[in-house]
Amino acid sequence: MLSQGFVSAAAIAASVLFILSLGGLSNQEKAKRAVWYGIIGMAVAVFFTALGPGIGGYWLMIPMIIIGAVIGTRLARRVEMTEMPQLVAALHSFVGLAAVFVAWSADLERRRVLAERAADGMMQEFSAFAALVATKAPDELMFLQVEVVLGIFIGAVTFTGSVIAFGKLAGKVDGKPRQLPGGHLLNAGAAVLSLALAILYLNGAGFWTLLLLALLAFFIGYHLIMGIGGADMPVVVSMLNSYSGWAAAAIGFTLSNDLLIVTGALVGSSGAILSYIMCKAMNRNFVNVILGGFGGTQGPAAEIEGEQISIDANGVASALNDAESVIIVPGYGMAVAQAQSAVSDLVRKLRDAGKEVRFGIHPVAGRLPGHMNVLLAEARVPYDIVLEMDEINDDFATTDVVIVIGSNDIVNPAAQEDPNSPIAGMPVLKVWEAKQVFICKRGQGTGYSGIENPLFFKDNSRMYYGDARESINALLPMME
């Protein structure tokens, strides 16, 4: 066993590595090194925590670590980038459920310690946590109870919310916003009952209060995320990331583990900041996001006039050969088709021909923050031509050709033109201002969010139907 001082020093080192990891992820060129900081930090955290004072049960711990490592490795090798958003949501659910289990266990240990104290004043068998509880004064035990309540509530909301988010992202649950009759009143009622149960528990009620509290929080998490539409799922994933961080911090307080507190606070605060930034990018109210009150229709949508006109590969290639400036706007359809390498080849040919080629990236493109940036970096697209929405939006009016690959909501003019649209007020890429717009899309459907897009019917827009990778590859032999 290592001394507590040594474990604390290791915790500080791991915390520094986590901070460096988060800081490095803000820059594409430093991201790989930042990931390694996080990996090393987590390895240090797990190793030195496992060897800390009062830790035992290695006969169970070591097999569980090995099993988890094997499962994690297999998943990492099998999961495609297109499935990364739902994988992240699933991992968030694990953190939330762990918080619930730890909080339940903590209260059972607290009750056992108090019962044995009352019986003979002696503890017959000390677990690491029981030993910790046994040293606490009555007022400190009250703080422990508060931590238990917070851990259960935040963890349970995170668990079911993340499970529903996983289902929506994976297409196993309908992406449209759905709520039970009563809507937000049900959430409010469940929250009030949760508060009442917490008060009863803090005043000495039995373990049943924690079980009911968890059930109510499970319902709140489920109902909150079910009420959010598919168009807003990137914000939901970021929000659940924040929730999972606070759940981890709650576990840290319960176990008196400084590293968990620091790590949870880092994840929770960074997730909250990212959610706020994304809400600003979508013109959403942050409080509404937390309460699950957005993503639904606002009224009858405006009627769309015109028709969708298709074009073949020859027509698109001819326009690209004649163009001087090209902007490519990728979306989730590019990820689904794994078309990033084909897009990179197209960019290389266009640039070799002396054309100006850039990418326009919306903050919520794809189903995970930074999704498109990661795919393009994987395909070795130069960082300097990948521009954010604010950097490129004014340039569409002077651009010859825009190619939209699998995007819908982020290029939807209804966000600015139709106050009844579910995405009304959301800042979008103004691709329709370009001379010509080609939309690479599988078919005429409304896409994941179910929102019709007037862009597809505009006079300067043409629909280039087909699988994104096959469609882009079809253009390559025709480029001059």
Is 418 labeled as catalytic in the residue annotation?
no
Domain end, chosen from 28, 44, 78, is at: 78
Q: Does 73 share its domain with 188?
A: no
Q: Does 280 share its domain with 371?
A: no
Q: Does 199 share its domain with 89?
A: yes
301 domain residue, yes or no: no
467 domain residue, yes or no: yes
380 domain residue, yes or no: yes
258 domain residue, yes or no: yes
Report the CATH number at residue 434.
Answer: 3.40.50.1220
Q: Does 88 share its domain with 218?
A: yes
Q: What is the pLDDT of residue 5?
A: 77
305 domain residue, yes or no: no
Domain membership of residue 472 as a residue range? 313-478
138 domain residue, yes or no: yes
299 domain residue, yes or no: no
Q: Does 62 share its domain with 99?
A: no
Q: Does 70 share its domain with 88?
A: no
233 domain residue, yes or no: yes
Q: Does 324 share its domain with 417?
A: yes
Q: Which residues of 316-351 are buried (b: 16+ CB within 10 A; e: fewer)?
A: bbebbeebebbbbbbbbbbbbbbbbbbbbbbbbbbe
**How many domains, the chain?**
3
pTM: 0.78
CA 476, distance to chain mean position in Å, is: 34
pLDDT band at 144 (very low <50, low <70, confident <90, very high): confident
The pLDDT tens digits for 62-112 are 898 899 889 888 877 887 766 777 888 888 899 899 999 989 988 887 787
450: which residues sit within 8 A by CB, 6+ positions away? 175, 176, 229, 230
Q: For the residues 26-45, what does the mean pLDDT come to?
A: 84
Q: Does 405 share its domain with 261?
A: no
Distance CA 203, CA 197 (A): 10
Domain end, chosen from 78, 103, 130, is at: 78
Q: Does 461 share its domain with 415?
A: yes
Helix (H) or strand (E) holding 117: helix 84-120
Q: Does 72 share its domain with 90?
A: no
Distance CA 474, CA 378 (A): 21
Active-site option among 409, 418, 459, 467 = 409
The pLDDT tens digits for 276-316 are 877 777 777 767 666 655 444 455 556 667 788 899 999 99
Q: Does 70 share its domain with 86?
A: no
Q: Does 234 share its domain with 340?
A: no
